[in-house]
Amino acid sequence: MVQLWIDNLPVEVDDDATILAAARRLGIDLPAMCFLDGHPANTSCMCCLVRIDGRQGYVPSCATKVQAGMHVESETTAVHNLRRTGIELLLADHAGDCHAPCQNTCPAKMDIPNMLRQVTDGEYSAALATVKRDIALPAILGRVCPEVCEQACRRGQHDSPAAICKIKRFVADRDLASETPYRPPLAPETGKRVAVVGSGPTGLTAVYHLRQCGHRCTLIDSLNVPGGRLTHEFPDELPPEVLAAESNTVLSLEVDCRFAQDVSNKAALDGLVDDYDAVLLATGRTAIPWLNDAGIVTTKSGMRVDADTRMTSREGVFAAGNAVRPYKLVVQSVAEGKLAAECIDCWLRGKRPPDRRKAYETRLARLTQQELCDYCEGIVPSPRVDSRSLGFDAVEEGAYEQGAFDRPSEPVAVEQEARDRAARDQAAQAEAARCLECDCRALASCLLHHYAAMYDCDAHRFRGEGRRYEGQLVGEKVTLELGKCILCGICVQLADEAPDAAGIAVIHRGIDTRIGPPPGKTIDEALGTAAATCAESCPTGAIILTD
C-alpha cells in the first residue's frame, strides 16, 4: 500500500493505483470522461487534470501512478479553471439536445417526449403519471392551453407538429373516465399545515404538490366552487363538468376546503398566520391596500416576493401566480403553483430553496432544410390525426351534460363504447408515434452534462460557428448519434475486445476527426457483442440502444 495526500487529505491505495483511483477513494468526483475501469487510460478528454507538488505543469489523474508521499492538488481554483477549459473545448464540438425543444418551450417543463413514447406503447397510466409530475390539471390545460410547445415541435418543420396538447388531454380524459383515477403517492405526514388562499390553477396546483410532500392543506376561496378564473374565462373551451372532475382529483387528496370564505383584510390574514405554519396567497389580481396594512409590500404588478423563496415581506406568507404578476397562460399559473409548493416545502423543512437559475444544457441550432431531412431520414410524412378520431368532437357537442364521464349500461352500448375506445386508443398511439424523440435518452447518465453543470461551463466559449447536426448511424441493436461523440475512445477499446466485432475507429484528422465503423460495415457489425456495453459506457449518450 502507498500513502499520499490529495488536498492535504491522506489516502492509502495499492502500489499500482492511479491518482484518479485515490481521489475516488476520498469521494472526489473528477471529470474523467474518457476512462473506463479495467481498461488503459485514453487521456483524450484531458479533463481530470491535477497538479503534483514538485513537478512542472499538470497531469491527467487517470494515467498517473501514485507514489509514496506524493502531494496532489485537485480541488483548487487553478485546477478547476483548467478542467473547465477542457470541458468547454469538448462542448465546442458537441451537437445534441439535452431536452427536446417542446419541453424547453413548455412553461411547466413537462417531459413531453416520454409521455408520447408511453402513449405510443399503450402505457396510458404511465403517461398520465408522467404528465402529472409537472402538470396537476392536464384535462383542463388540454382544453385551454394555446399549444406553445407545439410551436417548437421539430416535426412541424417537416410536415406538422405532433398533437401534444390533444394527447395530454386524451390521457387525462381517459384517466378521469376510469374506475380509479390517478392518485399520486403521498409522503408521510409532516405535521405541518399550509393555508392556500385561492383555488384557481395556481392554488390547486400548489395544494396538489404540497400534499405529495406530506403537508396538510386547507384551500380557501371566496367562491362556492374551486377553479378561480377557470370558472369564467373559458366558457366555450372548458365544460364545467371537466373543471369539477379534475378539481376533485386534487381535493380528494384529503384537502380541507373552505369555500365562500373571504380573506381580504388584515385580520383574516393575521388569523391564518397564527393558525398555520405557512400561508400561500394565490388570489389572482386583487385590490392591494389591505395587503400593505397586513405587512405585505406590493408593486404595480402585484405582491413583491423574494426571487429565490417566493416569500412576501411577511415571514411565512408566500405568494404566486397572478397575485405576483400577470400571467395570461393557465400553464404559466400551473408552473407557478408547483414552484411555490417547492419553495414552501423547503422553508418548512429548513432547507435551501430550489436553485432556479437556468439549468445547464446544450441545444441544437435550428436545423437547416438538409439537416432536417437527415434528422427525419426514414420518417414518412404524415398529417396530424384528426381530433375527432380521438373523441374530442363528442366533448364539444356536450357529452358531459348527463353527468361527468358517465358510462353506458346497455350491452349494445357497452360493445360500441369498447369499439370506440379501441379506435381512440389506436388514433392516439398513431399520433404519439409521430414524435421524432428529440430529447437525449441518456441525459440522466451523461457525464458531459454532469460535469458541465458542476464546473459552471459556458458551452459557447469556444464554439464559434458551432458543430452542426451530423445525422445518425442506426442499427438493429444500437444507434450512434455522431454529433454527440466526444472521441473518448471507450467504444474503440470495447469493440477491440469483442471477437465478433469488425471494430470501430477514430477517422480523419483535425476538426474533422470522427468515430466510425470500417467501410461497408454497419454500426452493429462494428461493435458486435460489445454493442450493449458500449451504450452503457458511453459518457455522452452518443451510443444508445435502438428501440
In this predicted model, what pLDDT tens digit does every residue of 285-316 receive, in sequence order? 876 678 888 889 988 889 999 989 999 999 99
- The reply to whether 265 falls in a domain is yes
pLDDT at residue 371 greater than cutoff 90: no
- The reply to whether 355 falls in a domain is no
User: What is the CATH number for 142?
Assistant: 1.10.1060
Range of the domain at 286: 193-349
Is residue 392 helix, strand or coil? helix
- The reply to whether 62 falls in a domain is yes
Name the pLDDT band for 393 (thresholds 50, 70, 90): very low
Q: Cβ contacts of residue 537 below 8 Å, gap of 6+? A: 36, 490, 491, 494
Question: Are 325 and 427 contained in the same domain?
Answer: no
- Alpha-carbon distance values, 11 to 50, 70, 94 (Å): 16, 10, 36
Question: Are 384 and 503 contained in the same domain?
Answer: no
35-38: long-range pairs with CB below 8 Å, 24+: 35/62, 36/490, 36/493, 36/494, 36/537
Q: Is residue 223 within 8 Å of 231, Cβ to Cβ? A: yes
Q: Cβ contacts of residue 143 below 8 Å, gap of 6+? A: 169, 234, 237, 238, 242
Percent of the chain predicted with pLDDT > 70:
92
pTM score over 0.85 = yes
Average pLDDT over residues 148-159: 90
Last residue of a domain, one of 315, 349, 383: 349
Q: Output the pLDDT for position 158.
A: 82
Last residue of a domain, one of 294, 316, 349: 349
Question: Are 26 and 55 contained in the same domain?
Answer: yes
Starting at the earlier edge strand, list the strands of the sheet with 478-481: 472-474, 478-481, 543-545
Q: Output the pLDDT for position 388.
A: 59
Q: Output the pLDDT for position 547.
A: 75
pLDDT at residue 223 greater than cutoff 50: yes
Q: Is residue 340 within 8 Å of 310, Cβ to Cβ? A: yes
How many domains does the structure of the chain reveal? 4
Question: Are 514 and 423 contained in the same domain?
Answer: no
User: What is the CATH number for 7?
Assistant: 3.10.20.740
- The reply to whether 357 falls in a domain is no
List phi, psi (to 5°) of 262: -95, 135
- The reply to whether 245 falls in a domain is yes
